Chains A and B, each alone.
Chain A
């Protein structure tokens, strides 16, 4: 080691590296906090401007934003797994469910009786909401634990095989929650969860959407910040290296197993946080909230937003959620009131999945790298054809070398 440090004098870093150097030590915190605050305030403002107020009342807008925010969190977490580390996870909703049920056990009378604790009784329904805050962390930890339990045996698989195993896991978890009647209350799920509470403000209420909205913004900002810091660190580079070429990554000293597992666990913990938040907002959890369609929607959000780019993914998630749940509804209203002949008879909500599917197909044809692509992904997709020959050669070697082990 010492021998290497006595190298011939290093040439000073050229100006070309100045940007990169700055990036290595820069705090993203302020830019992200500020952007989330501005976007949050802007969206809240939109909810009060006339053309939008016609579609639905302002409070419903804010509430809708908050639901969209849950998907933004999910998409950010999945982006870490799929976009950065390149592990296709089709069962992401399982971790969302685990987070939600974790909160339900601690924050509902039924759950308390199962766990054998008297939290709600002793603290009272209102004050017990304070557990929401530590539960965000606990939910993340529990989901991460299950992420590791699932990942440990399966991360040796790659690509399609991993996707199938995660798909299975995504199905198993809701089905277990559905069928273990005695401990999960089956189809009915667990109801009567306490709403989050703050020491001075008291408990959140269903009437006022703002506390949830602001909590969501804070969570999104924190998650986004951590994601950026992670991908720009040594770990982030390791994830990208694994996505590019796993064998080469191992040959540069990256422990591919633990590194992939870490990505998986971090993605799962983000879903756990989203699950806790979502459960506290809906005040009820049931297995039908966590079907495959959730996993799929989040994956579509990641792909559409631009894999690997956190802001892109967040915007993608928000846009898709809003189109699905607000725009299509208001289209119906809009055409009803304007009375345009054919369009007013079309039920756009029924056509939701058709339009959604068409949008996905169009997107993949026109802009496969997503709305806001990561520069590296773009490079990957647009030079793929010219480099095909060389790539196929490397893959052939990879498979032969792994087959031998």
Chain B
């Protein structure tokens, strides 16, 4: 078991801190996830688990520290983002001034304002669009000149991090298979034009996606339920569907936020089997946040315990179980 923990890390969080006003929800937490491992994050209610989780996923920015995924710096405190707006406006302003200068000298064009106006508008549009779409090369170039903005949740998914939610957030009015198909969004290539042209390539892609979505439903045990509305599925099935949706993006790391919450013992047992299967057969790395101690102790390679935003213990299940600080955090300090 401990062999897995020696794998190279897939995700590294360094001194992640998040403050909400005066409250320190997460305080300087160092955290690594070795490849192909199942690691868990536990802690009493309000320990900062979900905040930490949200920082890892780019949902909220950290107040300090950074998160690296597959060697790429994904999440950190935003740096000098005010200057980014200059990047959008500056080219247009320069062009406008240049055109005005040319116009005054009477060279080139006799209606400088009209044509320059069009040019400025087009350049402004282009740079604005660049700022909205934020392609990878644009982000990298900005990072080089010291402007950094954390990855958005969708960037994290694209990089290979899948997640589920603590309280299920399926697209309730869509069918199960449509939910999975939405999950496959980042893997599909079709764009506006191929969709409008209904190209052969897109049709093939859609057919393949449907096939794959069925495979995923089968994998999580929802065979034959694809055409049912997600909201009509039983609770346990909804949880599984959420996992299938997260898997659809072909993640390398799967973050499960209390996957067993509200499940009966039998459903939990099935879930344990599913999680192990995901790791062993699909080669995924899994981070669990969970309150169900039996599940956590049984499945984890390593457990990290948070309390009041601080990491108080880390180690194998046996080590954590015996750790006096963990016992104190959960049961309170023994009377002196």
- Specify whether A and B are partners: yes
Give A residues with C-beta under 8 Å from B. Answer: 1, 3-4, 7-8, 10-11, 13-14, 16-17, 20-21, 24-25, 27-29, 115-116, 145, 148-149, 152, 226, 229-230, 233-238, 240-241, 244-245, 247-258, 261-262, 376-377, 379-380, 383, 387, 390, 393-394, 397, 401, 404-405
* 30 CB-based A-B contacts, threshold 8 Å: A7-B215, A8-B281, A11-B223, A16-B227, A17-B177, A17-B210, A17-B226, A17-B227, A20-B227, A21-B210, A24-B209, A25-B203, A28-B198, A229-B195, A230-B192, A235-B192, A238-B182, A240-B174, A244-B172, A245-B170, A249-B171, A251-B163, A252-B182, A252-B246, A254-B185, A257-B132, A262-B192, A376-B173, A379-B229, A404-B51
Q: Which residues of B contact A250 (CB under 8 A)?
A: 152-154
Among all A-B residue pairs, the 3 with the closest Cβ atoms: A253-B157, A233-B195, A253-B186
Closest A residue to B204 using CB positions = A25
Among B20, B60, B218, the most chain A Cβ lie within 10 Å of the Cβ of: B218
B172 contacts A258, C-beta separation under 8 Å: no
B178 contacts A237, CB within 8 Å?
yes
CB–CB A14/B158 < 8 A:
no
Chain A residues, CB < 8 A from B185: 234, 237-238, 241, 252-254
Nearest to B182 among chain A residues (CB) is A241
How near does chain A come to B154, taking the closest CB pair, in angstroms?
5
- Whether B218 contacts A11 by the Cβ 8 Å rule is yes
User: How far is A387 from B20 in the complex, measured between Cα atoms in Å?
Assistant: 32
Q: Report if B188 contacts A (CB, 8 A).
A: yes
User: For residues 211 through 244 of chain B, which have their beta carbon under 8 Å from a beta carbon of chain A?
Assistant: 211, 214-215, 218-219, 223-224, 226-227, 229, 231
Q: Assess whether B12 is interfacial by the CB under 8 Å rule.
A: no
Name the contact of A405 in the complex, choosing from B60, B133, B231 (C-beta under 8 A).
B60
Q: Is B90 located at the chain interface by the 8 A CB criterion?
A: no
Q: CB within 8 A of B183: which of A13, A253, A387, A404?
A: A253
- In the complex, the chain B residue whose C-beta lies closest to that of A397 is B167
Contact present for B59 and A401 (CB under 8 Å): yes
Main secondary structure of the interface of B (DSSP, over half): helix
A244 to B174, CA, bound (A): 9
Taking CB atoms, residues of chain B closer than 8 Å to A387 are 172, 231
Would you give the shortest CB distance from A155 to chain B, in whole angstroms?
Answer: 9
Shortest distance between the CB of B215 and any CB in chain A (Å): 4
Identify A14's interface contact among B59, B188, B196, B224, CB under 8 A.
Answer: B224
**Which residues of A sit under 8 angstroms from B174, Cβ to Cβ?**
240-241, 244, 376
Is B129 part of the binding interface, using a Cβ–Cβ cutoff of 8 Å? yes
Q: Are A233 and B202 in contact (CB under 8 A)?
A: yes
Report Cα–Cα, A116/B186, bound state, in Å.
46
Q: Does B290 contact A (CB under 8 A)?
A: no
Interface secondary structure of A, over-half rule: helix
Are A235 and B158 within 8 A (Cβ)? no
Cα distance A257–B172 in the bound complex, in angstroms = 22
Which residues of chain B have C-beta atoms less than 8 A from A248's C-beta? 165, 169-171
Residues from chain B with a CB closer than 8 A to the CB of A240 are 171, 174, 178, 182
Binary A-proximity of B104-116 (CB < 8 A = 1, otherwise 0): 0000000100100
> What residues of chain B have their CB less than 8 Å away from a CB belonging to chain A?
20, 51, 54, 57, 59-61, 111, 114, 125, 128-129, 132-133, 152-154, 157-158, 163, 165-167, 169-174, 177-178, 181-183, 185-186, 188, 190-192, 195-198, 202-203, 206-207, 209-211, 214-215, 218-219, 223-224, 226-227, 229, 231, 245-250, 281-283
Asked if residues B125 and A145 are in contact (CB atoms below 8 Å), the reply is: yes
A residues in contact with B166, CB < 8 Å: 397
Judging by beta carbons under 8 Å apart, are B60 and A401 in contact? yes
A167–B205 CA distance with the chains assembled, in angstroms: 39
Give the nearest-CB partner of A404 in chain B.
B60
Which A residue sits closest to B129, measured CB to CB? A148
Docked pose: A27 CA to B281 CA in angstroms = 38
Question: Given the complex, which residues of B lie within 8 Å of A233, measured CB to CB?
Answer: 190, 195, 202, 206
Per the bound structure, the CA–CA distance linking A301 and B198 in Å amounts to: 28
Q: Which residue of A lies closest to B131 (CB)?
A: A152
A-B contact sample (15 more), CB < 8 A, given A7-B215, A11-B215: A1-B250, A3-B281, A10-B211, A13-B210, A148-B125, A229-B197, A238-B182, A244-B171, A250-B154, A251-B154, A253-B157, A253-B158, A254-B185, A393-B167, A404-B54
A230 to B183, CA, bound (A): 18
Residues of A within 8 A of B198 (CB): 27-29, 229
Of all chain B residues, the one with the shortest Cβ separation from A17 is B226
Q: Please tell me if the beta carbons of A245 and B182 are within 8 angstroms of each other in the complex.
A: no
Complex Cα spacing A347 to B61, Å: 63
Q: Are A255 and B192 in contact (CB under 8 A)?
A: no
Instruction: Specify which of A8, A21, A230, A248 lies most central, judged by the most chain B CB atoms within 10 Å of its CB.
Output: A248
Q: Are B152 and A394 in contact (CB under 8 A)?
A: no
Instruction: Decide: B183 and A255 in contact? CB cutoff 8 A.
Output: no
Q: Is the CB–CB distance between A255 and B154 below 8 Å?
A: yes
Would A380 and B203 count as touching, CB distance under 8 A?
no
Minimum C-beta distance from B185 to chain A (A) = 5
Q: Which residues of B contact A7 (CB under 8 A)?
A: 215, 219, 281-282
Separation of A25 and B129 alpha carbons in the complex (Å): 32
CA distance A281 to B231 in the complex (A): 48
CB distance from A270 to the nearest CB of B (A): 12
A400: min CB distance to chain B, Å: 10
CA distance A252 to B182 in the complex (A): 7
**Across-interface contacts of B186 in A (CB, < 8 A):** 253
B114 touches A115 (CB 8 A): yes
What separation, in Å, do the CA atoms of A10 and B226 have in the docked complex? 14
- Determine the chain A residues whose CB is within 8 A of the CB of B247 once the complex forms: 4
Whether A10 contacts B153 by the Cβ 8 Å rule is no
